Amino acid sequence: MTKITFIGAGSLEFTSELMRDILTFPLLEDATISLMDIHAGRLEWAKKGVEKLIAAGKRPATVEATLDRAEALKNADVVLTTILAGNTEVWRHDIEIPKKYGVDINVGDTRGPSGIFRFLRTINPMMEIVEDMEKYCPKAVLLNYTNPMAMLCAALQRQTFIPVTGLCHSVQGTAAMLAKWIGAPFKEIDYLCAGINHQAWYLDYRWNGEDAYPLIYKAVTERPEIYNAEPVRNEMYLALGKYVTESSGHNSEYNPWFRKRPDLIEKYCTHGTNWNPGEYAYILKQYQHNEATWQEQVKERLEQPLTEQDLQRGNEYAAYIINALKGGEMFKFNGNVRNTQLITNLPEGACVEVPVVVDRAGFHPIHVGALPAECALLTQLSSGIEEMAITASLAGDPTMVYRAIAHDPLTAAVLSLAEIRQMTNELFAQHKDHLPQFKHHAV
Amino acid sequence: MTKITFIGAGSLEFTSELMRDILTFPLLEDATISLMDIHAGRLEWAKKGVEKLIAAGKRPATVEATLDRAEALKNADVVLTTILAGNTEVWRHDIEIPKKYGVDINVGDTRGPSGIFRFLRTINPMMEIVEDMEKYCPKAVLLNYTNPMAMLCAALQRQTFIPVTGLCHSVQGTAAMLAKWIGAPFKEIDYLCAGINHQAWYLDYRWNGEDAYPLIYKAVTERPEIYNAEPVRNEMYLALGKYVTESSGHNSEYNPWFRKRPDLIEKYCTHGTNWNPGEYAYILKQYQHNEATWQEQVKERLEQPLTEQDLQRGNEYAAYIINALKGGEMFKFNGNVRNTQLITNLPEGACVEVPVVVDRAGFHPIHVGALPAECALLTQLSSGIEEMAITASLAGDPTMVYRAIAHDPLTAAVLSLAEIRQMTNELFAQHKDHLPQFKHHAV
Amino acid sequence: MTKITFIGAGSLEFTSELMRDILTFPLLEDATISLMDIHAGRLEWAKKGVEKLIAAGKRPATVEATLDRAEALKNADVVLTTILAGNTEVWRHDIEIPKKYGVDINVGDTRGPSGIFRFLRTINPMMEIVEDMEKYCPKAVLLNYTNPMAMLCAALQRQTFIPVTGLCHSVQGTAAMLAKWIGAPFKEIDYLCAGINHQAWYLDYRWNGEDAYPLIYKAVTERPEIYNAEPVRNEMYLALGKYVTESSGHNSEYNPWFRKRPDLIEKYCTHGTNWNPGEYAYILKQYQHNEATWQEQVKERLEQPLTEQDLQRGNEYAAYIINALKGGEMFKFNGNVRNTQLITNLPEGACVEVPVVVDRAGFHPIHVGALPAECALLTQLSSGIEEMAITASLAGDPTMVYRAIAHDPLTAAVLSLAEIRQMTNELFAQHKDHLPQFKHHAV
Amino acid sequence: MTKITFIGAGSLEFTSELMRDILTFPLLEDATISLMDIHAGRLEWAKKGVEKLIAAGKRPATVEATLDRAEALKNADVVLTTILAGNTEVWRHDIEIPKKYGVDINVGDTRGPSGIFRFLRTINPMMEIVEDMEKYCPKAVLLNYTNPMAMLCAALQRQTFIPVTGLCHSVQGTAAMLAKWIGAPFKEIDYLCAGINHQAWYLDYRWNGEDAYPLIYKAVTERPEIYNAEPVRNEMYLALGKYVTESSGHNSEYNPWFRKRPDLIEKYCTHGTNWNPGEYAYILKQYQHNEATWQEQVKERLEQPLTEQDLQRGNEYAAYIINALKGGEMFKFNGNVRNTQLITNLPEGACVEVPVVVDRAGFHPIHVGALPAECALLTQLSSGIEEMAITASLAGDPTMVYRAIAHDPLTAAVLSLAEIRQMTNELFAQHKDHLPQFKHHAV
C-alpha cells in the first residue's frame, strides 16, 4: 500500500487534479493520501475535494488531513510539495521593488531579482521539509512543484540523500501547442527537450519520425494568428532556431530582449493571444484578486457533481511517476534533476531539465550532451546566476546575491551596477525577517 | 642566428619599440630582421627606423624590407603580426552602423558587433599568413598582436600546427597601475591574472607576498583621484571584487552596465582621467586624425637623435619571449593560448589569457583552475559568443553571426532581436566584399 | 510494415529464437524478414526454420533469403549481425598459437591475444556491412551480436552515423542466476549493471527494493553447490565485492588471477558445475565437433513439430527493442553503446555496457557515473587495451597491436615482453591474409 | 632571512648535499638551518656536517639542531622531509613476507604490497608533521623526499592547505644518462617528462631542438654495453616506445613482465651493469649492512677536509626551488603535485609528476594533456591502485588494502586472489601496531 503526502495541500486545484490522476491507476487505488498545510481552512477544503473524488470513483483509497508535518510525512512513499512561503503581502515586494527601479516583472517566480528573493525565502521551509523526510520517511522520494524550481531543487539536491525531482507542465504543454499548430496528433510526436526549467529547448521535434521544425517555421511565419499567440517565444525561435518551453510573458523576463523598453513591452508583451502575454505583475494581480473570492469559488466547485469527464486521467506527470515507482509501467518525462554530465555545457551539479525514465528501481536521467551554442549561451548564464544565488544562500553572503542579480540579463539591460546595488539593498531590507540564513542584510 | 619577421611592419611605433628591446639581448643582437607590409611607404619608414636603432646601438643585426610575404617568412624563427585588414574607410562602419541603431562603441576592436565584423574580415589575411608559415617556416612560432586577439588566435589555433600565442600589454599595464595606486614598487608585486584578452582578472594580487586587495579597496574608495582615473573598472571592481585588465572606456563596451543609457555614458564614460575614458569612436577618430599627419610625425621622429634612454629595454613581452625561445632566460608572461582545461570553466579550445612560461623548449601554459563565479559569468558569455563567431566564420553561416551579436551584452541591453537582425544585415551588406567565406550575406 | 534483416542468418539457433520472439509482438507480426548469409546451405536451412515458425504461428510475416547483402539491406528498418569472419580453420590459431607460448585460452572471442586478432579480422566485414547500410538503409539501426562485442561496436560507432548497439545475454542471464541462488522470483529483482561487455558489474542488486547482496554472500559462502557452480566468478565476487557478468570459464581469461599456473586452472577452472567452467579451447572444440554433425542436427530439429511452448517469447533483448522502436512498449535493457560520460571513469568514446531505454524516438543511454574503484581498475585496463587495439586497426599499425597484447593481464602474467612480441608476430604471420588494413605484419 | 627545516635530518648524505647547494645561492647564504630528527646520535652528526660546510664556505648561515619538532618548525619558510618510519626491523617484513609467497621485491618503497604497507605506516608521522606545520609555520611549503612519494604526497595534498611538492632525482638522472648515451652535452637537451613518480615517461626528448629518440634507439639496439646497462628499462623502451624514469631493478617491480618467473629475474634483473640491476631485497640488504658501519663511515667523512669541488652546486632540485621561492631565478623542475587536469587521463586529485615552474609566487604546474596509450595503461593502473590505498587508509578499511594489492601487476602475475588475501593478512598481522588508522587488521 502506498502513502502519498501533499505538503501545501491547500493548492486546491493541483491537489484535486493529481488525486484524480492517482485514482485512475489500479496500483494506486488503495493509496493513503495524507494532506498537510499550514492553513487550516484551505486544508479542510482540500480534504473535502479529495473525498469527493474517492467517492465518485468508488475506490478504496483513504485520505487524512493534518497541520502536523511530521505526522503527514511518517512512512510516506512519495511526498509532493506545492508550498508558498509567505502570502501576497510578503512576495508582492519581489515585484514592486524592482518596478520602482524600472525592472518590469511579469511573473517573478523563477529567476531575476524577484525569483532570487523568492528562492532565498522559500529554501528555508523546503529544507525543513527535507530534513523531516530524512527523519520520518528516509526512503521516500520528493516530487517538487514549488518555484523557483531549478534553484530550490539544486539547493536541496546538494544537501540531502532524499531523491528530489522537480516537475513542471511547461515541456509537455508547449509540445502539445506546437503539435496543434502543425496539425499533428500529439501521439505521433516525439521530441528531445533539454535545458533548465522554463528555459529548456526542443532540440529535436519530430512528427512520425520526420523533423517537424520546417512545419513550425511555416506556421510561425505564415499564419499571423500563430505568430500572435506567442510573440516573445516566436521571436526567440526565429532568432535562435529552437523553440523554448514556458509561455511568452514569462519568457520575456528571462532575457534582455523584450522588457527593457516600454515600446518593446507594448510591441511584444501586450497583445499576445495565448495566456499571459506579459503584463506587469500578472500573477500577483491574479492572486490579489483571488484572495477575496477563492472561498466562494471552491465552495461552488465542490457542490457541482463530478462527470465521467472529470475522472479522466490528465497530462500531469506525478501520478504516472508514482505508478512507475510502485512497479507499474515505466514512464519517460522531463524532470529537473542534478546535472551529472547530462548536459555537458551546463554546470556540474546544477539542476537541469532533461528526459528521465522512472521505474520501480527509481529515476534514470538520460544523457543529452552539449546544448547547441544558440541555446547554450543564455541557459549557461541563467544557470550560472542560479548557482551563484544558491551559493550565496548556503554561505549567508548578501554580496553574492547582489552579484547574481547584477548579471540577470533583464536587470542588467536596465540598470547600472550602483542602481542594482541599491535595489538589492531595498529587497534585503524588506525581506530580512524571512532570510535568517544571512549574517547581515546589506551589501 | 635568429630571423625575426614583422608582418605589418608599418605599425611603426610597435616595430621600433620591439626592435629596441631585441637589441638589448646579447643572444639576439646579430638577428636578421625582416620587415613586410603591403604599404610600401610605411615599410620604407619602418626600415629607416630599425636601421637607426641598429646604428645607434652598434649591433651586428641586419634588416631587410620586402612587399613579398613569402620572402619575409622564409626560414623565419619568430613571426610577429600587427596587421590592419582594411583602412579607416573600411572599418569606420564597424562603429558607425551600430551607432545608428543606438549601440555606442568606444574602440570596437575586441568583441560586440564591431569586434565580430573586424574578426570576420581579419581572419582571412591572418589565415593566409599562417598557411604561408606552414610552407616557408614550419618550425617558427607566431606572436600575434592583431585584434580581435581572442577570436583570431582561437580561430588560428584550431586550424594550424604553428604555435600561435597572442600578446597584449593590458595585463602588465594594469598591474603596474595598481602598484602605483598602492605605492608599491612594481618589482615587489606578484599576481595571478587569468581570463580572456581584455577581460582577464587579477585573481591574486600581492605585495611582498601579502594580499594587496585591501589596499586597492582603500585607494579606490577613499581617494577620489583614483576612483576618477578609472570609473568603469573601479565600479566593476567594487561590484565584482576582482580587478579587470584593459582600460575603462574599452571595458565599458564589454558588458551591459555602462553604455546603454546616455546618462550612464555621461556619468561613467566621459570624465575618467586615465587615457580613453570611453568617448564614442575614440580610436576611430584618432586614426582619422592621424591619417593626415602621420608622415610628418614620423619624419620628425626619425630626425631626432636617439638618447641612451631611447635604447633601454621596455615592458613589451615579445623580445623577452624570443630571447627565451633562443635559449636565454626563461620568461613568464600572460599569453593568449588554446584552453586545454587551463581555465576549467571556460570552453575547451577557446583562447584564454593565462600565465605562460616560455623557454627553449617552447610555451608552457600554467593550469589556473576555475574562475570564481563573480568573474566567470561575464567571461563565459564573452567567450561563448566568440566561439560562436568563430564557428560562424568557419561554417560561412551568417545566421550564426546574428546569434552571436544578439547575445552581446551591450547590444542586447539596447536592442530587440528584430533590431539586431536589421543591424547585422546592414553590417553584412557594407562589408560583404571582405567576407568571401560566407555563402550569402543576409540573415 | 517493418523489414528486419539478418546478416549471418546461418547462425541458425539465434535466427530461430529471435524469429519466434518477433512473431509474439502484434506490431511486428507482418514483418518482412530478410535473411542473408555467405553460406548458401546454412541460409537455406535458416529460411526453412523461419518459415516453419511463421506457419506454426499463423502470422502474415514473410521471409526472403539472399546471398546478396545489398538486396538484404535495402530499406531495412533493423539489421542484426551474427557473423563469423572465417571458419574454425582460421580462428583455431587465435587459441592454438597463444597456447604454444603458455597462454591458456578458454573461449578467446572477447579480448586478450585471441580476442584482439578476432577483432582485427572481423572489423573488416563488419565495416563493409555498415557502409552498405549507409547506402541502402541509412535510417536503419544495427543490433550487433557479433564478438568481440566491445571492440567491434566501438570501432563502428566512431566511423558511421548508423546507430550501433551491441547486445549480449550475459547481463540478464547472470541476474537470473543470482535470483535463483537467493530464491527470489526474477520479477521481484531490480539491478543496476554497468561496465563493458563480459566485464560489467552489478553495482546494485535488489529484491523487492532491499539490497540482496547479503543474501548472495550467504549463498556463496555457505552453500558449496553454489560456490562450485561458478568458482571463478565467486572468487572474484569475494575479493572485489561486486558480481560480474559472463561465466566463470570466460571470465578466467580476462584477468591475471586464474589461468597463469596449471595448479590454478585445475583448482578454479576445471570443476565448476555451471556451463563452461574453463577448459582450454572450450568453444573451439565444440565448433570442431559440430562441424561434422550440424546438418544432421538441424534436419532433425526441423522435422519435429513445434509445441505451444516453442512459440513462447524468450529473454533475448532484440525483439523487445524492435517492438519499442516501432512504437510499442518502451523497453529497458543493457546495451553496448558509445561512452558519452555515461561511465565517467572509462574512456570517452569507448563502448560501454549500460542501461539503455529504447522507444520510438531511439536509444536513450542512462547516466551511470563512476564505477567504484574495486570494479574500475580491471575494467579500465580492459577498456584501455581495447581502445589501443581499435586505434591499431584504424592506423594499420602492428606495433600498437603488440602493445595492446603486452598489457593483457593474463598474457602479461605468463610471458615476458620479448615472448609476447614473438607470439604477436606468429599471430600476424598466420593471419596476414585476413588483415589487409595493416601496412606490414611484423613488429 | 630564510629558515629551512630538515625533518629527518639524520639522512646524513642528503642533508649535507642540500646544505652544500643552499650555500651556493647568495640569497640563501644567511639562512637559518634547523635540523630535527628523532635519533639524537644521527642529529649530532648531521649538525657537525652542516657546520663544516658553513665554515668551509665562509657564509653567515647558522645551524640549530633539536629533537623537538615544534621548535624546528616554528616560523620555517621551507620544510624538507626525509623520514623513515621504523627501522629495518620493522620494514624488512614488507619485503620478506611477500617473498615467502613468491612475490620477489627489489626495493619495495614505492608501490606493490611492500610500498603500500610502507605508505600505510608512514602517512601517520607525515600527517603529524603537516599538522604541526599548520600550527607553527602555516605559510611554509613542504618539500617531501620521503617514499612512497606519490601515495604520501597525494594523501597529504588532500588533507592540508600547506603546499606539498614531492621531489626525486630520477627524472634529471635518467635524462642525463640518456644524454651521455647519445653523446650530447646535457645543456643541449630539452625534454618533456610526465607520469607518476618512478613511472614517468619522456614524451619528448630533444637535442638542440631535434628529436633524439632515433639516437637512443640506435644506442640501445646497437651497443651491447648500453643495452646491458639497463636491461629492464631498455626492454620497456623497445616495447612501449618511450623511456621511463627510475632504474631497471626498481622498475622491474612495477609491472608484470620481469620478476614473475625465476628465469626472467635471472635474464633481466641480475646482470645489468648500472646500479641496482634488480637483486632481491637490494636496499634492505644495504641498510642492514650499513647499520653496523655507518658511524665509522660518517666519522671518517667528517674528518676529511673539503675541497673546492665539494662546495660545487649539484643537481638536486631543492636548493634551486628555495632560491626561486625567495625571489631568485625562476626554476623549472619535475615535481610531484596534485593532478588538476594536468594529465587528463590520470585520476583527478592523484599525485602526478609533471613539469613545475617555481618563482616567488609559488609553484606553477604545467598542463601536459593525455599520456599516450602506450604509457598510459600501466600508469593508470599504478595510479588507480595508489588512489585505492589512500582511500583505504583514510577510511581505515583493510579490505580496500587487499583489493589494491590484488591489482598490483607483479603480485597478480604470481598469486591467486586467495593467496593474496593470505599475504595481506600476514602483513597486517605483522604491522598492526603501526597502523592505528585501521579499525581492524584482517580481511
How does strand D199-207 pair with strand D78-81?
unpaired
Chain A CB contacts of B421 under 8 Å are 239
Rounded mean pLDDT of D284-295? 92
Q: Let me know: does B381 contact A377? Beta carbons within 8 Å.
A: yes
**What span, in angstroms and rounded, lies between the C-alpha atoms of B204 and B241?**
11
Q: Do B384 and A402 touch (CB under 8 A)?
A: no
One-letter identity of residue C179:
A
Q: How confident is the model at residue A308 (pLDDT cuts 50, 70, 90)?
A: confident
The mean pLDDT value of chain A amounts to: 97
The residues on C that touch D, with CB distances below 8 Å, are: 235-236, 238-241, 255-258, 260, 264, 267-268, 345, 347, 373-374, 376-378, 380-381, 384-385, 387-388, 391, 399-400, 402-403, 406-407, 409, 412-418, 420-421
Q: How does pLDDT run across A224-244, given as a tens digit for each residue?
A: 999 999 999 999 999 999 999
Cβ contacts of D364 on chain B, cutoff 8 Å: 332, 355, 357, 366-367
Helices (H), C2-145: 12-23, 40-57, 69-73, 88-101, 112-136
Give the separation between CA D206 and CA D187, rounded to whole angstroms. Answer: 11
With beta carbons less than 8 A apart as the criterion, state whether A357 and C366 touch.
Answer: yes
Among all residues of chain B, which has the CA nearest to that of A385? B377
Output the CA angle D325-D328-D334, nearest 5 degrees: 60
Q: What number is the average pLDDT over the span A321-335?
A: 97
- With cut-offs at 50, 70 and 90, classify the pLDDT of residue C6: very high
Report yes or no: D368 and D354 within 8 Å, Cβ to Cβ: yes
The three cell numbers of residue A221 are 511565419
pLDDT at position A37 is 97
Measured CA to CA in angstroms, residue B416 lies from A113, A242, B116, B410, C85 at distances of 21, 18, 19, 12, 62
Report DSSP letters for A45-111, one per residue: HHHHHHHHHHHHHT---EEEEES-HHHHHTT-SEEEE---SS-HHHHHHHHHHHHHHT---SS-SSS
The B-side interface with D (CB below 8 A) comprises: 190-192, 204, 206, 209, 329-330, 332, 340-342, 344, 355, 357, 359-361, 364-367, 369
Collect all residues of chain A within an 8 Å Cβ-Cβ radius of residue B255: 412
Residue in the structure block whose three cell numbers are 532433425:
C300
Q: Which residue is catalytic, options B39, B101, B169, B434?
A: B169
Do B366 and B203 touch, CB atoms closer than 8 A?
A: no
C-alpha cell at A331: 514512464
Residue B128 CB neighbour total at 10 angstroms: 11
Nearest to D31 by CA among D44, D20, D40: D20
- pLDDT of chain B along its 443 residues, tens only? 899 999 999 999 999 999 999 999 999 999 999 999 999 999 999 999 999 999 998 999 999 999 999 999 999 999 999 999 999 999 999 999 999 999 999 999 999 999 999 999 999 999 999 999 999 999 999 999 999 999 999 999 999 999 999 999 999 999 999 999 999 999 999 999 999 999 999 999 999 999 999 999 999 999 999 999 999 999 999 999 999 999 999 999 999 999 999 999 999 999 999 999 999 999 999 999 998 889 899 999 999 999 888 899 998 999 999 999 999 999 999 999 999 999 999 999 999 999 999 999 999 999 999 999 999 999 999 999 999 999 999 999 999 999 999 999 999 999 999 999 999 999 999 999 999 999 899 99
Chains touching D by CB (3 or more pairs below 8 Å): B, C
Q: C34 — alpha (psi -120 to 50), left (phi > 0) or beta?
A: beta
Q: In angstroms, rounded to a whole number, what is the distance separating the alpha carbons of residues D357 and C127?
A: 48
For residue B6, give every residue at least 6 positions away whose Cβ sits within 8 Å of its Cβ, in sequence order, or none.
B15, B18, B33, B34, B35, B36, B46, B80, B82
A·C CB contacts under 8 A: 58
Measured in angstroms, the CA of B279 and the nearest CA of chain A are apart by 18
d(CA D426, CA D402): 11
Task: Give the minimum alpha-carbon distance from C329 to chain A in angstroms, rounded to a whole number.
Answer: 9
pLDDT band at residue A315 using 50, 70 and 90 as cut-offs: confident
* B-chain residue closest to A417, CA distance: B257
Q: Which residue has the cell 530524512?
A: A134
Beta bridge partners of A331: A358
Q: Please enumerate residues of D whose Cβ is less than 8 A from a Cβ of C.
A: 235-236, 238-241, 255-258, 260, 264, 267-268, 345, 347, 373-374, 376-378, 380-381, 384-385, 387-388, 391, 399-400, 402-403, 406-407, 409, 412-418, 420-421
Contact C415, C101 (CB under 8 A): yes
Does residue C308 register a pLDDT over 90? no
Strands B62-66 and B32-36: parallel
Which amino acid appears at position C359 of this protein?
D
pLDDT at A439: 87
**Ordered DSSP codes for A96-157:** HHHHHHT---SS-SSSHHHHHHHHHHHHHHHHHHHHHHHHH-TT-EEEE-PSSHHHHHHHHH
C-beta pairs of D302-305 under 8 Å, 24+ apart in sequence: D302/D45, D302/D48, D302/D49, D302/D52
Cβ neighbors of D212 (< 8 A, separation 6 or more) are D178, D182, D184, D189, D205, D206
User: Tens digits of per-residue pLDDT, A113-150?
Assistant: 999 999 999 999 999 999 999 999 999 999 999 999 99
* Phi, psi torsion values for C337, nearest 5 degrees: -130, 170
Chains A and D are in contact, defined as 3 or more C-beta pairs closer than 8 angstroms = no
Question: Is the confidence at residue C74, as pLDDT, over 90?
Answer: yes
CA distance D233 to chain B (A): 25
Residue D340 with chain B: CB contacts under 8 Å: 367, 369
The C-alpha atoms of residue C13 and residue A133 are separated, in whole angstroms, by 53
Distance, CA of C254 to chain centre: 14
In contact, A395 and A110? CB cutoff 8 Å: no
Q: What gap in Å lies between CA D328 and CA D26, rounded to an integer?
A: 9
Q: Report CB contact under 8 Å: C361, A190.
A: yes
Which residues face B204 on adjacent strands?
A: B192
Euclidean distance between CA atoms A16 and A47, whole angstroms: 9
Residue A216: phi and psi, rounded to 5, are: -65, -45
Query: Which of C178, A57, A415, D174 is closest to B267 using CA atoms?
Result: A415
For residues D97 and D424, the answer to whether their CB atoms sit within 8 Å is: no
In the three-class reduction of DSSP (H, G, I as helix; E, B as strand; rest coil), residue C147 is classed as coil
**Do chains C and D touch by CB distance (3+ pairs < 8 Å)?**
yes
Residues of C in contact with D239 (CB under 8 A): 402-403, 406, 417, 420-421
Catalytically active residues of A are 169, 254
Residues of D recognised as catalytic: 169, 254
Chain A partners within 8 Å of C367 (Cβ): 340-342, 364-367
Question: Is D384–C373 a contact, with Cβ atoms under 8 angstroms apart?
Answer: yes
Residue written as cell 585588414?
B85
pLDDT at C291: 87
Whether A33 contacts A64, CB under 8 Å:
yes
Of C136, C213, C237, C254, the catalytic one is C254
Q: What is the mean pLDDT of residues C4-25?
A: 95
CA-based nearest distance C102→chain D, Å = 13
Instruction: Say if the Cβ atoms of D355 and B364 lie within 8 Å.
Output: yes
Does B237 participate in catalysis according to the annotation?
no
CA distance D57 to chain C (A): 51
Instruction: Give how far Cα D210 sits from Cα of D54, D191, D214, D353, D371, Å.
Output: 43, 11, 10, 24, 21
Query: What pLDDT does residue A68 have?
Result: 98
What would the pLDDT profile of A186-213 be if each residue is shown by its tens digit? 999 999 999 999 999 999 999 999 999 9
* Biggest alpha carbon–alpha carbon distance for chain C: 62
Would you call the peptide bond into C148 cis, given omega within 30 degrees of 0 as the criterion? yes
Q: Using an 8 Å CB-CB cutoff, list chain A residues near C366.
A: 357, 364-367
The string over B332-345, giving b where at least 16 C-beta atoms fall within 10 Å of a residue's C-beta and e elsewhere, is bbbbbbbbbbbbeb
Rounded to whole angstroms, the Cα distance separating D106 from D250 reads 6
- Inter-chain contact D367–B332, Cβ cutoff 8 Å? no
Please answer yes or no on whether D373 and C403 come within 8 Å at the CB atom. Answer: yes
In angstroms, the CA C409 to CA A249 distance is 62
Q: What is the ipTM of this complex?
A: 0.97
**Which residue from B257, B384, B413 is facing A256, i.e. has the nearest CB?**
B413
pLDDT-derived band at A359 (thresholds 50, 70, 90) equals very high
Q: What is the pLDDT of residues C207-237, one digit of tens each?
A: 999 999 999 999 999 999 999 999 999 999 9
- Measured between alpha carbons, how far is A133 from A139 in angstroms, rounded to an integer? 8
Strands (E), D235-373: 331-338, 351-359, 362-365
The pTM of the whole model exceeds 0.90: yes
Q: What confidence score (pLDDT) does residue A422 get?
A: 98
Among C329, C332, C341, the residue with its CB nearest the CB of A359 is C332
Whether pLDDT at D42 is above 90? yes
Q: Is the peptide bond before B148 cis (omega within 30 degrees of 0)?
A: yes
**Chain C positions in Cβ-Cβ contact with residue A332 (cut-off 8 Å):** 330, 357, 359, 364
Beta strands of B260-406 (E only): which ranges?
A: 331-338, 351-359, 362-365
Q: What is the mean pLDDT of residues D180-189?
A: 98
Task: Report pLDDT digits (tens) over C348-396.
Answer: 999 999 999 999 999 999 999 999 999 999 999 999 999 999 999 999 9
Higher pLDDT, A291 or A198: A198
Length reported for chain A: 443
Q: Which residue in chain B is spatially nearest to A390 when comparing CA positions?
A: B373
Contact D214, D270 (CB under 8 A): no
Residue B333, SS3 per DSSP: strand
Tell me the sheet residues that pair with B144. Answer: B81, B166
Q: What percent of chain D has pLDDT over 90?
A: 96
Task: Measure the CA–CA gap between B413 and B113, rounded to whole angstroms.
Answer: 13
Catalytic residue among C39, C169, C407, C441: C169
Which band of pLDDT confidence, cut at 50, 70 and 90, is reported for residue C309? confident
pLDDT confidence band for C439 (50 / 70 / 90): confident
Q: Do chains C and B touch (3 or more CB pairs under 8 A)?
A: no
- Say if residue D308's pLDDT is above 90: no
Distances (CA, A) of B293 to B269, B289, B299: 28, 7, 10
Q: Do D341 and B367 make contact, defined as CB atoms within 8 angstroms?
A: yes
What is the distance between the alpha carbons of residues B211 and B191, in angstroms, rounded to a whole number?
10
Give the residue-averaged pLDDT of C10-28.
Answer: 95
pLDDT at B324: 98
Estimate the share of chain B in helix, then strand, then coil, as percent rounded to the nearest 5: 50, 15, 30
Distance from CA of C367 to the nearest CA of A (A): 6
Among A236, A374, A417, beta carbon nearest to B257:
A417
Of D267, D384, D402, the CB nearest to C376: D384
Among B239, B257, B373, select the one facing A384 at the smallest CB separation.
Answer: B373
Instruction: Decide if pLDDT at D292 tops 90.
Output: no
Cell triple for C289: 565437433
pLDDT at C299: 92
Q: How far apart are CA C158 and CA C151, in angstroms?
A: 11
Task: Compute the distance between CA of residue C412 and CA of residue C403 in angstroms, rounded to an integer.
Answer: 11
**Coil, helix or strand at residue C102:** coil
Mean pLDDT, chain C, whole residue set: 97
Above pLDDT 70, what percent of chain A? Answer: 100
Measured between CA atoms, the residue of chain B closest to residue A443 is B239
